[in-house]
Amino acid sequence: MTTKFWQSSKNVDWYTPPYIFEALNYTFDLDPCSPPLERYKTRAKNHYILPDKDGLINDWFGVVWLNPPFGRGIEKWVDKMYNHNQGVLLTHVTALPNKWFHQYFDRYRSICFVKGRINFINGLGQFAGSAVHGQMLIGFGDTGKEIIEQCNLGKVWNIK
C-alpha cells in the first residue's frame, strides 16, 4: 500500500478540524502558523502565513491558538508560546517524554487529554484520517485555562 505524502510523518501540515474550534468556542486573536486561508481558515482574527509572515519571527499578541508543525522544530514554537504565556497549544501526547514538555511545565495552567484521536485535515482541505497518536491541549494563562476547562473534548487536568 502506498502512503500518500499528506498521510506520512514527513508532512507536518496537519490542520485542526472545525469541530475542535467549535468545542473550544473561542475566537483567538492570533494563529501564528496558519495554513493558507484560501484552503482552510482557523478560528482566529489574525493569521501569520508563510512566506509573508513567519510566526517564529513576528511578534505574538493576545490569546494565541497554536497547532504547530509536528516534528523537528516543534520546540521552537512551544518556546515562543511559553514566553508569550497566553493561549492554547495543540500537541501530541507522545510529547510527554520530550525535554520541552517538562521544561515549560511551570507555565501550564491546564491540560486536556483529548478523547479519541483527532481527525486532522490535510493540505488539500480534506480529512486526512485519525492521527497515529493521541493529542492534548495545553492552556497557557488564565484565558487558556478557561478555554480548555469548558471545551468538553476529554479529561482536563488543572495545574494551578
Domain range holding 106? 5-158
Per residue in 150-160, pLDDT (tens digit) is 999 999 999 87
**Cβ partners under 8 Å of residue 45, min gap 6:** 27, 28, 29, 30, 62
Give the residue-averaged pLDDT of 126-135: 74
What's the pLDDT at 6?
Answer: 35
Q: What is the pLDDT of residue 60?
A: 97
pLDDT category of residue 1 using cuts at 50, 70 and 90? very low
Whole-number Å distance between alpha carbons of 85 and 109: 10
Q: What percentage of the chain's residues is helix, strand, coil (to nearest 5)?
A: 25, 25, 50
Strand (E) positions, 7-152?
A: 28-31, 44-47, 64-66, 87-92, 108-114, 119-121, 127-130, 135-140
Residue 96 has what pLDDT? Answer: 62
Number of domains in the chain: 1
Residue 30 C-alpha cell reads as: 492570533
Q: How far is C-alpha 93 from the chain's CA centre? A: 12
**Mind listing the pLDDT tens digit for each residue in 6-42?**
344 455 567 888 899 999 999 999 999 887 766 667 7
The distance in angstroms from the start CA to the end CA of the chain is: 47
pLDDT for 12:
53
Mean pLDDT of the chain: 83
